[in-house]
Structure 1
Amino acid sequence: MLARSLIVLLVVLNAGVAIWWLARGDAAPVPAETALPGGVARLQLVGEAGPAAEAAPPPTPAPPPVAAADEPPAPDGASAAPPAPVADASPAPDAAALQCYALGPFTDAGKLAAAQRALQPRVARLHVREAPSTTRADWRVWLPPQADRAAAQALVERIVAAGFSDYYIIASGEQANSIALGLYGSEASARRRQSALRAAGFTDVQAEAVGDAPPATRWIDVASNAPLAAADGRALGAGRVEPLDCAGVPATPATAAR
């Protein structure tokens, strides 16, 4: 009797389990997804990745923060540094317009001072410089002294036979028995005479300046806002007006001559 009751109980329990199993269904409940902040991708398990996940576009990056129009005030004890000044690379208008000239040569101190006084109100800078003279007024061509008068006369005959004239035998003094072959007003003319005589075989012929060297000349260098012409130089007593590099004119204001 007890065994029969146990069998009936087991059948009832098995039937109940079978009914419960059929009633629950195959799909498990899907948990609701939690909303994520923008730009944050949902974490997926390896088994969850599928075609839909691969086709999903990448998250859109958040836009960069926009700077505020007004800068926040500096903290206490700190002062904002002022903006650095921008250097103006353009030249000063006066310096860009300057034109420089050399007026001269002046050999007379009075004419030089008068030209300075006339130029002083017209120019921005004025400087007087001295230029030593490199030219001589007269040049002579000559042959050194010979052993005696007879030797000098024999040499003169050779010179005449070579087609040259304008000779003179010095009779006395330190240069006695030397032969003068001409006096010339420029070095170029004297050098040409010397070259011709040497080409004819008179290799000892010399050319040299005579007399004292001319005095040094002076020039007025100016930096002017207006151009100067040759006529302006002549009016001031200067024989020439030559363009000049402004770097050669000292950066000092023009001063009146005394």
Structure 2
Amino acid sequence: MLLRLLFVLLIALNIAVAAWLLLGESSTHAVEPSDKGVPELKLLTELPVASSAAPAGSSSTAAVAPPAAVSAARASAGAAIEKPATPVATPPVNAAANPAPTPPKPAQAPEAEKTVAEAPAPPATVPTSAKRSYRCLAVGPFSTQVDLRTARTTLAARTVRSRQRQEQTTESHGWRVFLPAQATREQALAQAKRLEAKGIKDYFVVTAQGELQNSVALGLFHDPANARKRRDEVIASGFPARMSERTETTPVWWLDVVVPDDAGNDIRRAIRAPATARPTGCF
């Protein structure tokens, strides 16, 4: 029973809606196409083809145009290029009639910026470095190469460049007192016996080959004053004693360095005695 009632109500509702639609459509006013105020609609194919001289702002219209319109525009542009262009006389430009546009005035800066701009710039200060002068010193002598390398390592931070060299030096090893060499060994031994007879001791006969072979040595002294005293005593006893310096030639090493002129005292304080630092020629 309930289903039948719902079915009847649906049918009645459909009939009422159909009647309202029919009655409402007859009372509406249709707008004529020729009424004023209504814009006229045009198809894209009815629009004029954009020419090649169109401004850049019309690119959006060309982008919306259909492919057929674009093809037609390209064809017309090609035809325009193939035809010779007619020269157009350009009228002379009157400078008085068309004055040059006046450039716009720059915006005024704030007072703070204007004050900074008008302030005179301070003079540029160029740093100047004093030109350093250099000197050359010879450090040494060193009796061994070990001492040379040690000094070179110590002075490396204070020198600009350095070099090492070897020299031969004559060193004094004391003073000798002796009697001149005899022709034979027997004559030298006979002379030694006469010395002993006079009470002169501390002697010996030189047998080694050399300029003093077969001589009688009377002593070796480091102090030349003691050597002279010994010589005078033997001469007073009636023997022709002589005195000479004993020397030997040995190699020594020097270190030549180039240092700033104001670093000479530092170099002298850094080296160890007996080595010294003396001026030498630069290299």
Give the TM-score category using the shorter length. 0.3 to 0.5
Give the TM-score, by structure 1 length: 0.43
Higher relative contact order (CA 8 A, sep 6+): 1
Structure showing greater radius of gyration is 2
Greater helix share, 1 or 2?
A: 2
